[in-house]
Amino acid sequence: MFTVRVRVGDVSLWFDVLSPAVVREGERSVERPVLVGVHGGPGVDSVALGEILRPLGDVAQVVRYDQRGHGRSDRSSPAKWTLATWADDLRQFCDAVGIDRPIIFGGSFGGTVALTYAARHPSHPAALILGYVGARMDFAANVEAFRRLGGEEAAAVAKADFEEPSQAHLEDFVRVCLPLYSRRPGAAEYFRLRRKLSIETPEVTLAYRRELGKGESIGGLDRIRCPVLVLAGEDDPVVPSSAVHELVAGFREAPVELVMLPDCGHTVFRDQPELAYGAVRSFISRLSTQ
């Protein structure tokens, strides 16, 4: 494993290569597809995503990077913390490091960035793998989901954070609602460790929430033509099933596969690892035969 930075437009982005591009199979060398991971958040780096994607190093070369404003990459400025800029950074990042026809994995907010990138650059990706992302935010549905999972306190905290983003409301949300993202025991400790290992930039979180996270649908889905895999948890309080199905319906020209995972929240690779990794490996395998 090595780490390095690359210049992308007006910023320097940190990235990490987690597995090799060429491997030995018997007496021959085999070149694998490149899987580029786009981390969630916004406001956290790619450390957690790297741990999620590392097991897929047996079927692809896995690359992760910190988006502008995040982690070890340049902060840039709030005026450029936009979906369009993050999406164009993804395209330019691939060009800068010589990645042609990547498979893009985007989880949560990273999935929104990946969708925006694919709509703006439809001929660039070989495929999209979208984890726990919908066509838009549905705050009313989110509040009810948190109420069902965590009671009235969770609903009130979620509502306050959605309606009036602030540092105090964000801290309450992390304390009360974040552990409800997962359906497995030990979620609070899991997220505590993830946060300890990550570099956080809450100013990016708040800027995004105030300016962009207002429930608008993602546009341009009908321009996407590459194969798409969508992974979603049936009990995800962040991305309700209605938003997932709306997303799938928006792909008019792309072959799309939806995998809804039972007894699963927002952390699909933690809650249903066998099913989630199995679906991704199968999808990548089928791509190699097309």
Instruction: Kindly report, residue by residue over 173-228, the tens digit of the pLDDT.
Output: 999 999 999 999 999 999 999 999 999 999 999 988 877 555 566 788 999 999 99
pLDDT tens-place string over residues 56-78? 999 999 999 999 999 999 999 99
**pLDDT-based confidence at 14, cuts 50/70/90?**
very high
6-27 residues labelled b (16+ CB within 10 A) or e (exposed) = bebeebebbbbbbbeeeeeeee
d(CA 123, CA 224): 8
User: What pLDDT does residue 212 have?
Assistant: 59
| Rounded percentage of the chain residues whose pLDDT exceeds 90 | 82
Residue 135, Cα to own-chain centre: how many angstroms? 13
Residue 160, pLDDT > 90, answer yes
- Does residue 289 surpass a pLDDT of 80? no
CATH number attached to the domain at 30-138+202-208+217-288: 3.40.50.1820
The pLDDT of 124-128, averaged and rounded, is 98
Q: How far apart are CA 99 and CA 189, in angstroms?
A: 36
**Where in the chain are the domains?**
30-138+202-208+217-288
